[in-house]
Amino acid sequence: MRILGVVLDGIDGIEVTLEARFDPNYRVNCIRIVGLAEPTVKEGLDRARSAVWPLVRGVAYHQSQGILINLAPADLRKSGRTLDLPLAMVYAGLQLGLRDSTKSGLCFLGELGLSGSVRAVRGVFTAIMAAKREGRTGVVLPEANLTEARLVEGPDLYPVQTVMDAIDVLSGKRAPDSGPRGMNARGRPLDAPDFRDVKGQFSIRRACEIAASGRHNLLMEGPPGSGKTMMARRLPSILPPLTEQQALDVARITSVVRNLDSRTMHLPPFRAPHHSATPAGLIGGGQPLRPGEFSLAHHGVLFMDEFPEFDRRALEMLREPMEERVVHITRATAIKDFPADFLLVAAMNPCPCGYHGKRDGRCRCTERQVTSYRGRISGPLLDRFDLRVLLRPVTGEALLEEGEGEPSASILERVLGARERQTHRFGPGIFNSTAPDRVVLRSCGLRSEERRLLVRLLTEYGMSARALRRLQRVSRTLADLAGEERVTELHLMEASGFRLSAELEGSIPLAGRARGSGPEVT
pLDDT digits (tens, 9 = 90+) for 304-319: 999 999 999 889 899 8
pLDDT tens digits along 122-153: 999 999 999 999 999 999 999 999 999 999 88
Q: Which of 202-211, 301-310, 333-342 has the lowest mean pLDDT?
A: 333-342
Q: What is the mean pLDDT of residues 215-233?
A: 93
Nearest residue to 231 (alpha-carbon basis) of 278, 195, 256: 195
- pLDDT value at position 137? 94
Q: What pLDDT shows up at residue 486?
A: 93
Q: What is the pLDDT of residue 522?
A: 29
> In this predicted structure, what is the pLDDT of residue 42?
92
The residue-averaged pLDDT of 359-382 equals: 86
Report pLDDT for 501.
62
Sequence-separated contacts (24+) of 477-481 with Cβ below 8 Å = 477/210, 477/213, 477/214, 477/216, 477/418, 477/432, 477/433, 478/210, 479/444, 480/213, 480/214, 480/417, 480/418, 480/421, 480/422, 480/432, 481/209, 481/210, 481/213, 481/414, 481/417, 481/418
CB 521 within 8 A of CB 504: yes
Q: Which of 57-61, 122-126, 161-165, 290-294 has the lowest mean pLDDT?
A: 57-61
What is the model's pLDDT at position 27? 67
Q: What is the pLDDT of residue 355?
A: 84
pLDDT higher than 90, residue 431:
yes
Predicted local confidence at residue 64, as pLDDT: 53
Binned at pLDDT 50, 70 and 90, residue 187 comes out as low
More confident residue, 83 or 516: 83
Instruction: Give me the pLDDT at residue 400, please.
Output: 67
Mean local confidence (pLDDT), 167-180: 93
Comparing 18-32, 277-291, 364-378, 415-429, the range with the smallest average pLDDT is: 18-32
- SS3 for 39-94 is HHHHHHHHHHHHHHHHHHCCCCCCCCCEEEEEEECCCCCECCCCCHHHHHHHHHHH
Residue 467 or residue 110, greater confidence: 110
What confidence tier does 359 reach under pLDDT thresholds 50, 70, 90?
low
Report the pLDDT value the prediction gives residue 185, as an integer from 0 to 100.
Answer: 61
pLDDT recorded at residue 518: 36
Q: Are 226 and 425 in contact (CB under 8 A)?
A: no
Amino acid 507: pLDDT: 47
Q: What is the dihedral angle through the alpha carbons of 469, 470, 471, 475, rounded to the nearest 10 degrees?
A: 100
By percentage, how much of the chain surpasses pLDDT 70? 91
Kindly report whether the global pTM for this prediction surpasses the value 0.95. Answer: no
**Which tops the pLDDT comparison, 347 or 188?**
347
pLDDT at 519: 33
Q: What are phi and psi of 277, to 5 degrees?
A: -60, 140
pLDDT above 50 for 386? yes
pLDDT, mean of residues 445-466: 87
Pure H helices in 238-278: 244-257
Is the pLDDT assigned to residue 63 strictly greater than 60? no
Nearest-CA neighbor of 446 among 496, 501, 492? Answer: 492
Identify the pLDDT of residue 410: 95
Query: Which pLDDT does position 190 carry in this prediction?
Result: 61
Q: Is the pLDDT of residue 205 over 80?
A: yes
Cα–Cα nearest to 57, from 20, 100, 92: 92
> Is residue 165 over pLDDT 70?
yes
Confidence bin at 332 (pLDDT 50/70/90): confident
Give the model's pLDDT for residue 56: 78
